Structure 1
């Protein structure tokens, strides 16, 4: 069985964070239209779980800077999702967490690529 590498987890994390960020930015606009759509924090929970899986694998082998960015960003995302899920309030922390996740994964991807070139 082939062992999955750090770039795979970075690409997974970048993809998940980007899709989540687009979802969080565009979905409120779609609720304005009379389509019968409502917000479901379970979707956010799914994106966060994929991202959490990716950063758990990455933080074991990454630098302190990358690990810090990813952990703080994921914490912001989870705080926002749990506040929405249990308190039914929307916090803008999820946007900052999503941007931080993308930045952290991009930095880690570039550092890993540079080290192996």
Structure 2
């Protein structure tokens, strides 16, 4: 599949996954006690949260990394991606209260979504063709 067509799709998936992760991290602590009542108790499971984080990380590294390498060569999306995951990890490791974690971690998820958006814009702004053309042999 053509990378120019695949990259925007991956960024859209990354924006969606990161935003859902941010919403999950912000809302689950507020609704923690009522989730089992409506059959959504599994959302409070640590495995769901880590699964979302790992999924967003995999999409981010693949999408933004390939876009950096093949198209725009700009570090801003990569730096935003790394900063977003550092905020998420810092929020999980160093937040002393659930309320503090619920404010820090979603910010990291939104930073990752913003990194995908910036990558999407950079990839779309890069219009030149990256194919390597070989000279034809003249007979």
Same fold flag (TM > 0.5): yes
Residue 28 of structure 2 is matched in structure 1 by 27
Relative to the length of structure 1, the TM-score reads 0.77
- The aligned length equals 113
Residue 110 of structure 1 is matched in structure 2 by 121
Could you list the per-position Cα deviations for residues 76-103 of structure 1 after superposition, in whole angstroms to 9, with x for gaps in the alignment? 223434x39xx99642431221110111
Residue 58 of structure 2 is matched in structure 1 by 53
Could you list the per-position Cα deviations for residues 54-113 of structure 1 after superposition, in whole angstroms to 9, with x for gaps in the alignment? 1211124321111100111012223434x39xx996424312211101111111111111
* RMSD, matched Cα: 2.8
Relative to the length of structure 2, the TM-score reads 0.66
Three-state SS of the structure 1 residue aligned to 2:67 is coil
Distance 1:101 1:24 in 2: 14
Distance 2:16 2:60 in 1: 13
Which one has the largest radius of gyration? 2
Q: How does 1:25-104 map to 2 (within 5 A)?
A: 25-33=26-34, 35=37, 37=41, 39-57=44-62, 58-62=64-68, 63-81=74-92, 83=93, 90=98, 91=101, 92-104=103-115
Residue 10 of structure 1 is matched in structure 2 by 11
**Runs of 4+ more than 6 Å apart:** none
Q: Please list every run of 5 or more consecutive structure 1 residues that lacks an aligned counterpart in the other structure.
A: none
